[in-house]
């Protein structure tokens, strides 16, 4: 048994501000009843054969009850709380007759309607032995506990602490999750803003290039300006296809379809009545892969518009399919007169670009030329 002559509610621990801060970190004060705590209080009553069982937490000026079995009470002032004595010691406090103990004889719980006469409680302490509250049982007649009952009361007290710790871990997890969601929301908002500004900037550049092209009298310069515009289009079209909910993945099907549509409209004069066929599977890839793929498609079709169709070709196409082992296959072709591929690495700027862009997606370009031109790329999806 633990005895103390210190006034109730005073000098609970040497570092009371730290203890109160720790208690608040559990985010349990003034929360609704929970089955887990009620079950442990009821089990304490059963083991000790007592009608009243309480799980109380010692706040700054009150004893607040997380669970109250056999007594309708939410909190009591700390000055009148029997548990304020229990919390000072790691040892159980057992008072066989409260009315005969001078510390508690005048307590309202003893002299009032409750008429309590027996008390047994254990201090609820965390792993660092910081006291948080008590688990106690009470009766309306004097009595004793056996050693086995007292031992079980202590064990149940440790289970209450275990529930408190689980609750704190859960609260911290929810806090971290909320912080993560807030960071994700802020990041997505910033990303959308940057994408919007980037796309607007590219469209402004595109408009300036278009204006300069109309002013230019030299046909070769106009063609060079046109190729520059073709190489910019995938940059601003890709902004519309980024899937924010999947961390920057791009849906290739709508992206490539939009790219083909825009290029055909821009090259209508060069393409004439040419048809660009599409067979594109639904496939999402990271943006760092989608952009080079879009640039490859743009470069190939620009070559078709500039060289294949004016020379008699009338059809071009692209096909994208997912193959085995997380890979994809991209085919681009036209039915023009074909082109001469040098034996050494590509010397033309367009071929050099395709070579470099292919390496960025983990592919090696495969060329077929003769009756038309065909480019085949196989690359990992992720």
For residue range 181-213, what is the model confidence (pLDDT) as tens digits? 877 777 666 656 655 665 666 667 667 766 776
Asked if pLDDT for residue 337 goes beyond 80, the answer is no
DSSP string, 162-208: HHHHHHHHHHHHHHHHHHHHHHHHHHHHHHHHHHHHHHHHHHHHHHH
d(CA 134, CA 59): 12
State residue 30 phi and psi, 5-degree precision: 65, 25
Indicate whether 247 pLDDT > 80: no
Poorest-pLDDT segment among 136-145, 192-201, 211-220: 192-201
As a whole number of angstroms, the distance between CA 175 and CA 72 comes to: 33
What digits encode the pLDDT tens for the residues 169-189?
A: 887 788 788 878 877 777 666
pLDDT of residue 241: 56
**How far apart are the C-alpha atoms of 27 and 164, rounded to whole Å?**
9
pLDDT digits (tens, 9 = 90+) for 103-130: 999 988 898 888 899 999 999 999 999 9
Residue 31, pLDDT score = 92
Domains of the chain: 16-175 (3.30.450.40), 245-380 (3.30.565.10)
Question: Counting runs of H as helices and runs of E as strands, what totals does the chain give?
Answer: 10, 14
**Confidence grade of residue 143 (pLDDT, cut at 50, 70, 90):** very high
- pLDDT tens digits, 256-313: 888 888 777 776 665 567 788 899 998 888 888 888 888 888 888 888 877 777 666 6
Q: Is the pTM of this model over 0.85?
A: no
Per-residue pLDDT, 272: 63
Q: How far is CA 222 from the centre of its chain?
A: 49
**Conformational region of residue 188, where left means phi above 0, alpha means psi within -120 to 50, and beta covers everything else:** alpha
Q: Specify the higher pLDDT residue, 220 or 53.
A: 53
Report the pLDDT value the prediction gives residue 78, as an integer from 0 to 100.
87
Polymer length in residues for the chain: 382
Q: For 8-24, what is each residue's pLDDT tens digit? A: 444 455 468 889 999 99
Mean pLDDT, the chain, as a whole number? 81
**d(C-alpha 382, C-alpha 373), whole Å:** 28
Question: What percentage of residues in the chain have a pLDDT greater than 70?
Answer: 76
* pLDDT the model gives residue 306: 76
pLDDT of 5 higher than 50: no
Residues 69-80: pLDDT tens digits?
Answer: 999 889 999 887
- pLDDT for residue 3 is more than 50: no
């Amino acid at each position: 048994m633990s005895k103390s002559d210190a006034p109730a509610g005073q000098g609970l621990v040497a570092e009371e501000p730290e203890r109160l801060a720790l208690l608040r970190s559990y985010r349990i004060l003034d929360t609704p009843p929970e089955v887990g705590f009620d079950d442990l209080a009821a089990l304490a009553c059963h083991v000790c054969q007592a009608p009243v069982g309480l799980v109380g937490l010692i706040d700054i000026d009150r004893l607040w009850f997380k669970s109250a079995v056999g007594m309708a009470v939410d909190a009591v002032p700390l000055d009148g709380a029997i548990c304020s004595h229990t919390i000072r010691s790691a040892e159980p406090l057992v008072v066989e007759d409260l009315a005969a103990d001078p510390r508690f004889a005048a307590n309202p719980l003893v002299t009032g309607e409750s008429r309590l006469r027996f008390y047994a409680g254990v201090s609820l302490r965390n792993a660092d032995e910081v006291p948080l509250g008590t688990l106690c049982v009470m009766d309306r007649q004097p009595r004793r506990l056996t050693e086995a009952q007292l031992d079980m009361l202590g064990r149940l007290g440790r289970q209450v602490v275990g529930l408190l710790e689980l609750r704190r871990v859960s609260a911290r997890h929810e806090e971290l999750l909320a912080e993560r969601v807030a960071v994700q929301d802020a990041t997505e908002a910033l990303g959308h803003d940057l994408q919007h500004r980037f796309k607007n900037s590219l469209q402004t550049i595109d408009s300036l290039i278009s204006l300069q092209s109309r002013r230019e009298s030299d046909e070769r310069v106009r063609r060079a300006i046109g190729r520059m515009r073709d190489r910019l289009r995938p940059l601003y079209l890709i902004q519309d296809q980024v899937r924010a909910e999947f961390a920057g993945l791009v849906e290739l099907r709508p992206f490539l379809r939009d790219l083909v549509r825009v290029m055909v409209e821009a090259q209508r004069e060069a393409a004439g009545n040419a048809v660009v066929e599409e067979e594109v599977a639904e496939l999402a890839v990271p943006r760092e892969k989608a952009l080079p793929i879009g640039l490859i498609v743009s470069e190939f079709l620009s070559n078709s518009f500039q060289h294949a169709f004016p020379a008699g070709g009338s059809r071009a196409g692209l096909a994208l399919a997912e193959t085995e082992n997380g890979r994809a296959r991209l085919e681009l072709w036209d039915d023009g007169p074909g082109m001469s591929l040098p034996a050494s690495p590509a010397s033309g700027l367009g071929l050099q670009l395709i070579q470099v862009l292919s390496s960025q997606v983990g592919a090696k370009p495969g060329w077929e030329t003769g009756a038309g031109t065909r480019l085949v790329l196989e690359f990992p999806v992720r």
